[in-house]
Chains A and B, each alone.
Chain A
């Protein structure tokens, strides 16, 4: 078997199409982008080498600090909540028989909708004139400025956006966990019930350890997704008021495409890349274990 799995020709055939595509369409442009991060480049005039100037600029950039703070908040929030809610929903749904598909489909539904459109929709809902504040007013309460409040370390709009993101994407984590849970042998559970385990206990001692590899996968996806998170913030607040809800991706966009500091934006991109790599490595070190033999 070992010989079969070490077959050079097979390795080439399996890997070549993906590697070729990836190298030409993604990797080379990424390298170009890294090169631009050392340049003064606005896409309109030829790039000019300026060395580390863009990276030095990162240090003194106030907006970048806010963006970094928000991104890290967003990263932690989405990793934790997606893990808890995703697992919880997956466990609930695998435990009911009637309506499982219905509820699963409903919860997964926003994942298939464009987050740009949903961002717009939620912007409507949280806008003071049109949305829930009008409903609250009818109940005699005064709603806060959901998307414009600027008080606190993590300002209210970030919590709102983080909530909406959870709302939209929890279905994805749920789906991944469900896929993994359904792969767990039924006989394991049956055996545990015979041994007198409660549902909660069997969840703790069977489900949790067995979905752990998927936790690493889903969490890495969440982490990367949340660091790159863009569409919804862009449509809900555009990073405002006064850059208070900026995250790395929106800051990158602003600098690169609104102000045409393409070189500087590339430097932010490199920072983002490094951050993503570090977080993924961390998650995989901490969470991932050898897969259990089922």
Chain B
């Protein structure tokens, strides 16, 4: 064990360097958010001379960040829940149920992952406008949900395929129905995967700009990334206010992330104990 401790120290030193590499740019953002535009350009690294909260108050009121946060939250949570349920059901269907076209179905879903959103933007918007889904949060949830499905399915298929056959067999022998096997046996075991994909979905949608920008016109329905882009003017950008707005925008993400990451840790340890 003594020998290992030297290694441990090296590992920790390495990790601390990594941590600095990760945190420094973010701390710099914090630093900038308290400055004036003039200061940003003259002394980008120095600490702010007269730290001002003005940027934050302006960003909050003018960017309507409160309502935008709420909108983003609604859209992302609804999308997350549905994509987890619908996605893992389909993944289970592909990975475990036995039918001729299961592999084809997987390929079919995967193509969705490969299409850049720009390609389908205009056809999708035209369609949605016809059925009255443009300029509504529902109209945003539907594409978000659909775009989240392929990645959820892809990762969950991996998890379900990795599960030992015996598990399902024994549940079968106990007389469980297929739904019980899915909800009571497989889904809980795939929890880790579910949280990872959930996190990815949530984060991806939380930061999505283009669809939200094109689909939503009403100021009261705009999501956070759209509100952030308000600070980019036609000829110049209000960097200090924009960074203040970015800070406001990432705080909820970090909170949600911390909540979820603990769940992931739970999942990880649970898996380890079971093994």
**Direct A/B contact, Cβ within 8 angstroms:** yes
Residues on A close to B: CB < 8 A?
1-2, 4-7, 10-11, 13-15, 17-19, 21-22, 25-30, 32-33, 36, 43, 89, 92, 95-96, 99, 101, 103-118, 120-122, 124-125, 129-131, 134-135, 167, 172, 175-176, 178-179, 182-187, 213-214, 216-217, 220-221, 224, 227-228, 230-231, 249, 252-253, 256-257, 262, 265-266, 269, 272-273, 276-277, 280, 291, 293-294
With A11-B97, A15-B105, A179-B192 as contacts: A187 and B18 at CB distance below 8 Å: no
Overall SS of chain A's interface: helix
How far does the alpha carbon of A32 sit from the alpha carbon of B54 in the complex, in Å? Answer: 48
Contact flags (1/0) for B126-146 with A, using CB distance below 8 Å? 010000000000000011011
With A18-B86, A96-B8, A113-B207 as contacts: A185 and B98 at CB distance below 8 Å: no
Q: How many whole Å from B123's CB to the nearest CB in chain A?
A: 4
Which residue of chain A is the closest to B7 with respect to CB atoms? Answer: A199
Which residue of chain A is the closest to B165 with respect to CB atoms? Answer: A293
Contact flags (1/0) for B98-128 with A, using CB distance below 8 Å? 1100000100111111111011101110010
With A21-B142, A185-B275 as contacts: A10 and B179 at CB distance below 8 Å: yes
**Residues 228-268 of B at the A interface (beta carbon under 8 Å):** 228, 242, 246, 249-250, 253-254, 257-258, 261, 264-265, 267-268
| Interface residue B196 (Cβ < 8 Å from any Cβ of A) | yes
How far does the alpha carbon of A28 sit from the alpha carbon of B108 in the complex, in Å? Answer: 12
Q: How many whole Å from B262's CB to the nearest CB in chain A?
A: 8
Most B CB within 10 A of own CB, among A109, A231, A265: A109
With A6-B97, A182-B192, A293-B164 as contacts: A26 and B116 at CB distance below 8 Å: no
Do residues B275 and A22 form an inter-chain contact, with CB atoms below 8 A?
A: no
Do residues A2 and B11 form an inter-chain contact, with CB atoms below 8 A?
A: no
How far does the alpha carbon of A44 sit from the alpha carbon of B170 in the complex, in Å? Answer: 60
Contact residue among B94, B97, B271 (Cβ-Cβ distance under 8 Å from A183): B271
CB-CB under 8 A from B169, the residues of chain A are 1
Closest 9 CB pairs of A and B: A276-B114, A14-B93, A114-B207, A18-B90, A185-B275, A29-B120, A269-B119, A29-B123, A32-B123
Q: How many whole Å from A123's CB to the nearest CB in chain B?
A: 11
| Interface residue B63 (Cβ < 8 Å from any Cβ of A) | no
Q: How many whole Å from A222's CB to the nearest CB in chain B?
A: 12
**Residues 184-200 of B at the A interface (beta carbon under 8 Å):** 192-193, 196, 199-200
Do residues A26 and B146 form an inter-chain contact, with CB atoms below 8 A?
A: yes
Contact residue among A14, A96, A213 (Cβ-Cβ distance under 8 Å from B92): A14
Q: How many whole Å from B142's CB to the nearest CB in chain A?
A: 6
How far does the alpha carbon of A96 sit from the alpha carbon of B254 in the complex, in Å? Answer: 24
Do residues A33 and B123 form an inter-chain contact, with CB atoms below 8 A?
A: yes
Q: How many whole Å from A285's CB to the nearest CB in chain B?
A: 13
| Interface residue B23 (Cβ < 8 Å from any Cβ of A) | yes
CB-CB under 8 A from B181, the residues of chain A are 4
